[in-house]
């Protein structure tokens, strides 16, 4: 059970990183448009 929890936590961290990266890219695009 603990292994599954760690596995889920690992994927959750990657998901948050991808979301943060996308937010940064969107911010960069909006910045360059102005």
What tens digit of pLDDT does each residue of 1-34 get? Answer: 678 888 899 999 999 999 999 988 888 877 777 6
Predicted local confidence at residue 34, as pLDDT: 65
Q: How far is CA 11 from CA 8, 14, 28, 30, in A?
A: 5, 5, 26, 29
Domain that holds residue 32: 1-34
CA atoms of 12 and 19, how far apart (whole Å):
11
Q: What is the pLDDT of residue 33?
A: 72
Strand, coil or helix: what is 20?
Answer: helix
**For the chain, how many structural domains are there in total?**
1
> What is the pLDDT at residue 18?
94
Predicted pLDDT of residue 12: 95
């Amino acid at each position: 059970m603990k292994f599954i929890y760690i596995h889920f936590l690992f994927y959750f961290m990657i998901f948050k990183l991808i979301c943060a990266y996308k937010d940064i890219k969107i911010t960069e695009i909006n910045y360059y448009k102005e």
